[in-house]
Chains A and B, each alone.
Chain A
């Protein structure tokens, strides 16, 4: 993706697979200072909170989704706003895929709106989201 004229409504953003591990979840929860045991204590998670496995953080999936838009911009735009919601939990071992679609282009303000998603392995959107991005003028 480069200039605004190259972007069209309906364009797909590049998809990316994410496979969380015990190590990556430990690092993430340490970085955001979250000690909720459902992200690292399997017996607690299944026996006390009755999840089928270690829970992949919703905000981590949100970050992955934001990266889908930010990496598509390749540093040639800035994020104005971003939203997501977690509709269904995801568990350690699941391969999640982020992607998105251009849904609106405002040429006057150079603002592009995209819909974003996190899908699970069976193709269900478990976290929908969206972003508005301002395209920056490229230096000649």
Chain B
């Protein structure tokens, strides 16, 4: 097994990225619902967000000059630079405590909770696990998202 992750990479584990605040818009819910071919009216009319609406909701929005040639953002907001550059979405686990509705003002705190290497069939892989805790204005938990990104 190659050791692609350095102490500098591992130092990111547990570090909280800046807490973001997002106001939920009915129009954004409707766009998402149409793009994902939802069937329930509450989603298509934007009364409630589908659970997976939270994907990328709190990611830092970069200016175009701060995007890499592959289109993905560069910089500290997305974690450390990895020696492997082809990034795929690995998987997601969500725990929903209450629905997300238009007008909600949500706060998110993201941490890299694990980084590890595996040997895949076509070469080494680096797994980065990020945990996003979403709360409402009253500080009540709304949803937790645990997301794995795979670099190869």
Contacts and interface: CB of A to CB of B under 8 A. Distances in A.
A85 interface: yes
A30 to B, nearest CB: 7
Interface residues of A, number: 39
Counting chain A CB atoms within 10 Å of each CB, which of B34, B35, B67 scores highest?
B35
Contacts of B71: 34-37, 41
Given A27-B34, A67-B39, A33 B59 contact: yes
A57 interface: yes
Given A37-B70, A75-B42, A81-B94, A59 B89 contact: yes
- Interface size class, chain B: 35 or more
A138 to B, nearest CB: 17
A122 interface: no
Interface of A: 18, 24, 27-28, 30-38, 41, 44, 48-49, 57-60, 62-64, 66-67, 70-71, 75, 78-86, 89
15 contacts: A24-B35, A24-B37, A27-B34, A28-B35, A31-B36, A36-B71, A44-B70, A49-B86, A58-B90, A59-B56, A63-B52, A75-B40, A82-B96, A83-B93, A84-B92
